[in-house]
Amino acid sequence: MPATMRRVPSPKRPTPRRDAATIRSDAPAPPNAISPWVSLRSANFHPFIFQRMIAGADAAAKPGDLVNVYDKFGLLFGRGLYNPRSQITLRMLSHGNAPVDDAFWRSALERAVALRRTLNLDAVTDAYRLVHAEGDGLSGLIVERYADCLVFEIFALGMYQRVPMLAENLAAILGTPTSLDRPGRASPTWRTIVRADEHVERLEGFKVAKPAANADEPKTVVIREHGIRYRVDMAGGHKTGFFCDQRDNRRSFASLCNDASVLDVCCYTGGFGLCAKILGKAREVTSVDLDEAALATAKENVNLNNTRISLVHADAFVYMRQMETAGHRFDAIVLDPPKLATSRETIEEALRKYHDLASVAARIVKPGGVLLACSCSGLVSPADFDEAILRGVRRPGRTIQIINQTGAAADHPVMTTCPESAYLKTLWLRLS
């Protein structure tokens, strides 16, 4: 199991305000400003600059443009991608006089790829995060590698406008794709899919073009992770189709499951359950999800690996309460729900759900058993998540040992100027 991670205080980031004023396009230009420009009334080194922090913008600055950014003293602060309709009006890419040109984009992508190669990920998987947005200095851009496919998840108009250039550079840096599932038979070129959440599209003002009906675009691909095969639905699955961030946690959880009865709650396509069964030699595994499409893929993954797992289409709360009533107990349970806090207004509701999930799960863990609770909601702080889970587990009177606290795999780096990039939180508990 990975070493315990000590929680450290996070530097405060700027908080967006909903009453932000319209950006002035008639504001006086900073002395010697180079068009297109944006002037700030306040700034820090977080990559997000919100509307309320902006004093004015050049009338020539168009949505998605790369702009020169000046501080309140008229000095060049840096350069970033501009979108006046977005609450995150500027996504900073460089500071000081460092240019953002063709060499900048190439170098940023080369650094991202070099990190993944240093981690030697290709030895264990052909599915990992190549670009982690702010963590790699490219705010608004996520790129996942799945075998011979690159999936771009876009969060900013400026990045969407630059996808062709980014894809071309990334393919050149990576070289010819290889696949662990099809050694020597992978495609000669990288295939690309572009995705964005509808909510992001509305906020940012773009729409990802749908491929033509007869286009030869990949919809699914088979990847390998720690020797286990998974089919990834890159077009219709959640996020980019698979959760590479849990790679290390899946393997660590499996190490606790020898001859165990395991319950994988909110299993999606079966990652934790398959690892527990195949790598951990679990005696029996039950994987539960309410998403029928996800369960269909989970069933295919079970068949791909010639193993047996009980797949249950049910609401997590309902199923666990049924198990409690029936007197069924498990040696190990993993709770890995989808993002529960999608906005600041939903944080309290999310914390109540984490509490309730933990409370119900604690009732069906055997004495000495393990409960792994996860949160992928970046808006929920580690401290608040831990408190919600621990209060929930204590509710039925269980005694708790915290045996680990981990986050995302190392291909999800975090810049110290953007601590919320460390969105994944996992709390490992042993219950008496």
Averaged over 49-74, what is the pLDDT? Answer: 95
pTM of the entire predicted model: 0.89
Topology of domain 37-95, CATH: 2.30.130
Tokens of 312: 């249950």
Cα–Cα distance for residue pair 162/274, rounded to 1 Å:
38
Cα–Cα distance for residue pair 252/229, rounded to 1 Å:
18
* Radius of gyration of the chain measured on its C-alpha atoms: 23
- Given a contact cutoff of 8 angstroms between Cβ atoms, the answer to whether 251 and 226 are in contact is yes
Q: Hey, what CATH class is 102-210 in?
A: alpha beta
E strand or H helix that includes residue 317? helix 316-326
Quick: pLDDT tens for 289-335: 999 999 999 999 999 999 999 999 999 999 999 999 999 999 999 99
Domain boundaries, the chain: 37-95, 102-210, 243-431
Architecture of the domain spanning 243-431:
3-Layer(aba) Sandwich (3.40)
Cα within 13 Å of Cα(294), Cβ side: 23
Quick: pLDDT tens for 224-261: 999 999 999 887 767 788 999 999 999 999 999 999 99
Closest CA to 305 of 387, 249, 231, 241: 231
| Amino acid in position 108 | A
Q: Which residue carries 């969105």 as its tokens?
A: 423
